[in-house]
Amino acid sequence: MDLSRRALLGGGAALAAASLAGCSSGTGQARDALAAEIPDRPVTIDWISQVLADNDGKDLRRTLVTAFQNRFPTITVNLVDVPPTTDVRRTTLTTQIASGATSPDVFLGDCTWPAQFAYNSLAQPLGEVAGEKEFWSGYPDPVSTAVSYEGSAYAFPMYVDISFLYYRKDLLDKHGFDPPETWEQVSDIALKLTKAGDVRYGFVWQGASAEPITCNFTEFLADAGGSLMNEAATEVTVDSAAGRRAMEFMAGLVSSGVSPAGVGTFAEEQSMTAFSSGQAAFLRNWSYAWGAANGADSAVSGKVGAVLRPRFDGGERRGLSTLGGWHNYVNPHTRNLGASVAFARWVAQEEAQTIMATTSPYTPPLSSVLADPEVTGQDNPTFGLSADAQFVVRPSQSPRYPQISKAVYTNANPLVVSGGRGDTDAAVAEMAAGMRTAHEGAAL
Amino acid sequence: MRTRERRGWRRVVNPVNGGALVMVVLTAMPLYWLVMNSFKPPEEISAVPPGAVPKAPTGQNYGDAFAGGFATYMLNSVLVCAVATVIVLSLATFAGYALARTPMRGRGPVMVALLIISVYPAIAVLVPLYLMQRQLGLLNSYPALIIPYVAFNLPFAIWILRNYMLSVPRGLEDAASIDGCSPVRTVLQVILPQVRPGLFTAGVFTFTATWMEFLMALTFNSQEGFRTIPVGMALFGTVFEVPYGTLFAAAVAVTAPIAILALVFRRSVVAGLTAGAVKG
Amino acid sequence: MSSTEKAPTAAATVPPQRGGAHDKGRGGARRPAFSGPRDAMERRMARIGWLFTAPSLVVIGLITIFPIMYSLVLSFSRVRIGYDGFVVESMTFDNYVALFASQDFYYALGFTVLYTVITVAVELVLGTLAALVMERLTTGRGWMMALMLIPWSMITVVSAQLWGYIYNSSFGVATWALEGITGSTPLILGEPVPAITAMMVADIWKTTPFVAIIVLAGLVMLPQDVYEAAEVDGANAWKTFWQVTLPQLRATIAVAILFRILQAFGLFDLPFVLTGGGPGTATQSLAVMGYKVLFQDLNIGPGAAVATATGLLVTGACLLFLRSFKAQVGREEVS
């Protein structure tokens, strides 16, 4: 017994010491990303990104990589594919980067990740936003805010997602309606069209108990003049008159029959299917929906219109959209910091952004490119509308954003699933309490 | 015996044969579907209604699977599982012998502890193991999986071998010890040949358990070059589609060898799997 | 360790006391020491015993026991990932406060237990029926066994992908078949109850054949004279099964069930690949929840609390069941 006990204790102590030793140092992050040099000798960097299809069905990533390699001949960019879902993609990235792995060098990540990744040393700081005025002034403020954490940028923007209200142009024309400007009009038209038997559902959106309903609720909340948290994501502000109004409206959509209770299980894909199969009159969805609704396998191809999201009757701001999008992060353990930063930064700038905007359905965050007549003049009206969109930022400034969002969707979803019945005020109060607990780091 | 004599057509059409047919069909149908779809081109795979057999059978999926990193996953899996199994068997042989045959103190608590560990959920030790391996620089390497696989499969292997060793006649050892054999030689030369079926059983269980293990492999070795088959297969696909044809070709390629082995060795496998269950 | 495959054998190897019993008789381990050649021999053998066991125990201790303890520490800490590893910021009880306040945790616990109880019950009933059929089968039994070994030997992730394809909402064969029957397109994996059912079907398909093989072996081993006696008494097959066969298999089956339930606390592969725990959290097992909290939300402290709670539940259940293991085995020995 003695032998093994000694061995156990000895080994255990050694390992404990090793584990603790790792806790003190954090030196590696002191590298200045922007000062890192681009090497003269050839280097290869790994870029993890999902496949991005361009207008011809080809891979936009390859077009970009080729253009980049022409510009920087010493750098080779190696494409690495990712798992299918955003969640699994995040877990493979976190386990891989937290392991100290030097690959991937650059990774395309969701716009809600910066705080979480920065707080956990999974992303390389890419310079202070304030100190790089010239660079960041080219992007809308919400975009630079969203990619930064405590003043430092942690990603270079690649593309943004903006939400629109898509509608059945043919049906609105048939009944003599103009595209709606308020949510009240949306409800009226939707009910009339369903009653007339033209569609099965009036208005479909995303109410699944996950990030989608957080995005949808955040938008209704902003329409009503409120917000989930203050701008710095330090204080919960959802328990307000606006919060209660937004929740009431959302539940009312279902209880009045404008939206089916099924939206409580809808993520983007399901709502898209309902719309493009001709079952719904209105759809709230991101920029990509224009292409999907007009695709070859869509039953409503050519019968679709798009507007920025409406306002509430008497509301001040319209065209509000949750800011979505994907941006390039740099692995803090990369061996090729200079080359990695050069690539991530290049994708955010004019040359790459123009390629992207003119050959693919992805919306460039760089204002000058988005305002370019060549870009706005394309078939796709979402580009032209995008410049007028007003962004609503989710409180992803908090490193506990996943838990905060969980408090939002777990309290909002039951109201939708139950057909809009339930105490909306109580739901908002519960949501606020849950968000506060989450913000303090005391939630799962 | 219990089976009653059946005559005429009742020898073929009867509840037993009917039941057997249902079982075979239910078991085989998903397997049939797997094999058929591994030979279908992409447009047939997503065709509605689905075709029972490929209209234009192709081996393309198999080529794609092996070109797309599957060969690496397979190599990783075979290497990790084989090494882990060998280490488990060698350690378990001696531990099993000690627990079965020597009057060492504290056998009871040790056996109970082993029992608990053999069902202890991997999720409960995932983070500390990740951290320890991180400090030792082991993540994304072969030892990163071999070490935990050995530790988690040892308890069960020790149990099996111990039980087999209990049934070895004492006289053999006593004779060996009178002949002046060292304990190590006694185990290797006298005991080991007697418990070959036990080794086989423990080996089969260890290999299958490590071959299928997913959670640790996913967490410790998520980097492309070190993924094992389950990880590679789980992370397969892109945002827009899961390339099921390629995936199924890979699935057939990993299942077929095992199935053939099961077929060839079915007697010993079944005997091995059930030995403990029945004898206790 | 996700799988179900080693349960029945493990179950039956349980009784620690039985095997130990006869050598304890001759063991001087507990006797007061006195000198003599036999006693010296005993001591030498005991030392050798520990020498032989030590390497295994060291490995197991370092890789399992130490992490179990370390996980406990982490579950009381505020932790984040640092550049060189984890950073423990302070000690706290918050993680457990959060855990016990979390509805997701209770749901995951309930789901894991319920899912296991139902699948194990169905697998057992179907497996026993299959074994009874196979036992009476006059030809092709060997081939059938070989076929039934295939689902068992299949990697869980692979079978999960296969079932994911079968259930696919746009071109899955199950979706197509159900549409033909009901007339409307079902979202098999998109709604809670169908998703849970679909997952159970996949599990039952994979595990039932194995249960059948084990039960069959039990049937074949049963003493024939009991049956002959029953036949003389004129009992029919059904009665024989209930009154003679089942009671004799009871010990094996009971222990197998307990083991299977304990293992199921690790349920991960199938839900992770097939549904990702969804829709919502409908198919989120304890292990999937733990993994997500740890590596998706990067909520390391609370994640460690989920992991530790799961581990404690298993240990507790194990110790609780230890009695019934002994009781069951005792009865088997008597009968």
One DSSP character per residue, C143-154 reads HHHHHHHHHHHS
For residue A81, name the pLDDT band (cuts at 50, 70, 90): confident
Mean pLDDT, residues C240-249: 76
A30 contact partners, CB below 8 Å, separation of at least 6: none
Those chains having 3 or more beta-carbon pairs within 8 angstroms of chain B are A, C
Q: Which of C78, C276, C295 sits opposite A85 (nearest CB)?
A: C276
Partners of residue A103 in chain B, C-beta under 8 Å: 223
Which residue of chain B comes nearest to C319, CA vs CA?
A: B116
Q: What is the CA radius of gyration of chain A?
A: 24
Contact B134 A98 (CB under 8 A): yes
Partners of residue B76 in chain C, C-beta under 8 Å: none
Q: Which of B105, B215, B224, B236 to mutate to test the interface with A (most CBs of A within 10 A)?
A: B224
Domains of chain A listed by start with CATH number: 34-154+324-390 (3.40.190.10), 163-322+396-439 (3.40.190.10)
What does the DSSP assignment read for B79-126? HHHHHHHHHHHHHHHHHHHHHHHS--TTHHHHHHHHHHHHH--GGGGH
Contact B135 A80 (CB under 8 A): no
Q: CA–CA distance from A66 to each of A40, A61, A75 (Å)?
A: 19, 9, 11
Q: Which of B135, B219, B235 sits opposite A88 (nearest CB)?
A: B235
Q: Which of A99, A107, A120, A277 to mutate to test the interface with B (most CBs of B within 10 A)?
A: A99
For residue C122, name the pLDDT band (cuts at 50, 70, 90): very high
Mean pLDDT, residues B133-156: 93
More confident residue, B88 or C220: B88
Question: How near does any CA of chain C get to the CA of A123, in Å?
Answer: 10
Name the token pair of A79.
């494409």
For residue A24, name the pLDDT band (cuts at 50, 70, 90): very low
The span from the CA of A350 to the CA of A139, in Å, is: 11
What does the DSSP assignment read for C291-317? HIIIIIS--HHHHHHHHHHHHHHHHHH
For residue C329, name the pLDDT band (cuts at 50, 70, 90): very low
Question: How near does any CA of chain B get to the CA of C25, in Å?
Answer: 10
Mean pLDDT, residues B213-231: 93
Which residue of chain A comes nearest to B242, CA vs CA?
A: A84
Q: Which of B239, B244, B246 to mutate to test the interface with A (most CBs of A within 10 A)?
A: B239
Partners of residue A3 in chain C, C-beta under 8 Å: 50-51, 54
Those chains having 3 or more beta-carbon pairs within 8 angstroms of chain C are A, B
- Percentage of residues in chain C with pLDDT exceeding 70? 83
More confident residue, A81 or C164: C164
Question: How near does any CA of chain C get to the CA of B92, in Å?
Answer: 7
Name the token pair of C253.
């089956």
What does the DSSP assignment read for B6-32? --GGGGTSSHHHHHHHHHHHHHHHHHH
pLDDT at C254 over 90: no
Partners of residue B236 in chain A, C-beta under 8 Å: 83
CB pairs under 8 A between B and C: 375
Which residue of chain C comes nearest to A402, CA vs CA?
A: C297
Give me chain C's average pLDDT, please.
80
Q: Which of C63, C66, C142 sits opposite B266 (nearest CB)?
A: C142
Those chains having 3 or more beta-carbon pairs within 8 angstroms of chain A are B, C
Mean pLDDT, residues A100-119: 93
Contact C83 A28 (CB under 8 A): yes
Q: Which of B134, B137, B242 sits opposite A84 (nearest CB)?
A: B242
For residue C247, name the pLDDT band (cuts at 50, 70, 90): confident
The span from the CA of A301 to the CA of A305, in Å, is: 10
Q: Does C204 touch chain A (CB under 8 A)?
A: no
Q: Which of A15, A19, A400 sits opposite C85 (nearest CB)?
A: A19
Mean pLDDT, residues A222-232: 93
**Predicted pLDDT of residue B228:** 95
Contact C295 A120 (CB under 8 A): no
Q: Does A442 touch chain C (CB under 8 A)?
A: yes
**Predicted pLDDT of residue B4:** 53
Give me chain B's average pLDDT, please.
86
With contact defined as beta carbons under 8 Å apart, do A321 and A389 qualify? yes
Q: Does C217 touch chain A (CB under 8 A)?
A: no
Q: Does C271 touch chain A (CB under 8 A)?
A: no
Partners of residue C69 in chain A, C-beta under 8 Å: 12
pLDDT at C65 over 50: yes
Contact B137 A100 (CB under 8 A): yes
Question: How near does any CA of chain C get to the CA of B223, in Å?
Answer: 15
Burial environment of residue B82 by CB neighbours within 10 A (0 to 12, 13 to 18, 19 or more): middle
Mean pLDDT, residues A94-123: 93
Question: How near does any CA of chain C get to the CA of B245, in Å?
Answer: 10
pLDDT at C268 over 70: yes
Predicted-complex ipTM score: 0.90
Partners of residue A95 in chain B, C-beta under 8 Å: 130, 218-220, 222
Q: Does B108 touch chain A (CB under 8 A)?
A: no
Mean pLDDT, residues A253-281: 89
Mean pLDDT, residues B92-109: 88
Burial environment of residue C64 by CB neighbours within 10 A (0 to 12, 13 to 18, 19 or more): buried
Partners of residue B52 in chain C, C-beta under 8 Å: none
Q: Which of B17, B160, B214 sits opposite C269 (nearest CB)?
A: B214
For the ranges A11-15, A88-92, B65-69, B145-149, the maximum mean pLDDT occurs at: B145-149
Window 80-99 of A: residues touching C by CB (8 A cutoff) are 85, 87-88, 90-91, 94-95, 98
Q: Which residues on adjacent β-strands are paired with residue A379?
A: none
Contact C137 B23 (CB under 8 A): no
Contact A92 B235 (CB under 8 A): yes
The span from the CA of B255 to the CA of C150, in Å, is: 8
Spell out the domain ranges in chain B: 1-31, 60-279
- The three-state secondary structure class of B72 is helix
With contact defined as beta carbons under 8 Å apart, do C93 and C76 qualify? yes
Give me chain A's average pLDDT, please.
88
Strand arrangement of the beta sheet that strand A163-168 belongs to: A201-204, A280-286, A163-168, A304-308
**Predicted pLDDT of residue C252:** 66
Q: Which of B223, B231, B233, B240 to mutate to test the interface with A (most CBs of A within 10 A)?
A: B223
For residue B214, name the pLDDT band (cuts at 50, 70, 90): very high
Alpha helices per DSSP H over chain B: 15-38, 42-45, 60-65, 71-101, 107-119, 126-135, 143-166, 170-178, 183-185, 192-194, 196-212, 215-220, 229-234, 244-264, 266-279
For residue C25, name the pLDDT band (cuts at 50, 70, 90): very low
**Predicted pLDDT of residue C325:** 58
Q: Does A116 touch chain C (CB under 8 A)?
A: yes
Partners of residue B102 in chain A, C-beta under 8 Å: none
Question: How near does any CA of chain C get to the CA of B239, in Å?
Answer: 15
Mean pLDDT, residues C237-261: 74
Contact A51 B130 (CB under 8 A): no
Contact B222 A50 (CB under 8 A): no
Domains of chain C listed by start with CATH number: 36-66 (no CATH), 103-334 (1.10.3720.10)
Neighbours of C224 (CB within 10 A): 10
Whether domain B60-279 has CATH 3.40.30.10: the reply is no
Which residue of chain A comes nearest to C52, CA vs CA?
A: A4
Question: How near does any CA of chain A get to the CA of C243, in Å?
Answer: 48
Contact C176 B99 (CB under 8 A): no
pLDDT at B217 over 90: yes
Q: Which of B99, B126, B233 sits opposite C53 (nearest CB)?
A: B99
Least confident of B89-93, B216-220, B253-257, C194-198: B253-257
Q: Which of A15, A19, A101 sits opposite B140 (nearest CB)?
A: A101
For the ranges A30-34, A218-222, A386-390, C186-190, the maximum mean pLDDT occurs at: A218-222
For residue A39, name the pLDDT band (cuts at 50, 70, 90): confident
With contact defined as beta carbons under 8 Å apart, do A94 and B246 qualify? no
For residue C30, name the pLDDT band (cuts at 50, 70, 90): very low
